[in-house]
A and B are shown apart, each in its own frame.
Chain A
Amino acid sequence: MAEAFAFEIVSPEALVLGGEAIAVDVPGSEGFFTAMANHAPFMTTVKPGVINVQMEDGSSERIFVRGGFADVTPSGLTVLAEHATMLKHLDLKDIDDHIEKVREDMAELEGDRRVKMERILSQLEEGKAQVMIELG
Chain B
Amino acid sequence: MASLKDLRNRIASVKATQKITKAMQMVAAAKLRKAQMAAEAARPYSERMAKVLANISSAMEGQENAPALMVGNGSDQRHLLVVATAERGLCGGFNSSIARLARDKARALQAEGKDVTILCVGKKGYDAMKMEFSSIMMEPITFREVKNVGFNEANIVGQKVLDMFADGEFDVCTLFYSEFQSVISQIPTEQQLIPANIVGSEEGEATEEADVSYEYEPDEEVLLADLLPRNVSVQVFRAILENAASEQGARMSAMDNATRNAGEMIDKLTLSFNRQRQAQITKELIEIISGAEAL
- Where the two chains meet, the residues of A that have a C-beta atom closer than 8 Å to any C-beta of B are 8, 10-15, 28-30, 40-45, 69, 71, 73, 78, 80, 82-83, 113
Contact = CB atoms under 8 A, between A and B. Distances in A.
Interface stretch (B118-126, B139-147, B216-224, B282-290): B216-224
Contacts of B52: 43, 69, 71, 80
Nearest to B230: A82
B292 interface: no
B215 A12 contact: no
Nearest to A75: B209
Contact of A80 (B45, B56, B217): B45
A78 B48 CA distance: 8
A44 B222 CA distance: 10
Contacts of A43: 52, 55-56, 214-217, 223
A10 B216 CA distance: 20
B150 interface: yes
Contacts of A41: 209, 212-215
A8 B51 CA distance: 15
Contacts of B154: 12
B218 A13 contact: no
Majority-rule SS of B interface residues: helix
Given A40-B215, A71-B52, A73-B209, A45 B45 contact: no
Nearest to B163: A113
26 contacts: A8-B44, A11-B45, A11-B151, A12-B45, A12-B46, A12-B234, A13-B38, A13-B42, A14-B41, A15-B41, A29-B217, A29-B218, A41-B212, A42-B216, A43-B217, A44-B218, A44-B223, A45-B217, A45-B223, A45-B226, A69-B223, A71-B52, A73-B212, A80-B52, A83-B151, A113-B166
A13 B150 CA distance: 7
Contact of B214 (A42, A82, A83): A42
Given A10-B48, A13-B150, A13-B151, 18 more contacts: A10-B44, A10-B45, A11-B151, A12-B154, A12-B233, A13-B41, A15-B41, A41-B209, A41-B212, A41-B214, A42-B215, A42-B216, A43-B52, A44-B218, A69-B223, A69-B226, A80-B52, A113-B166
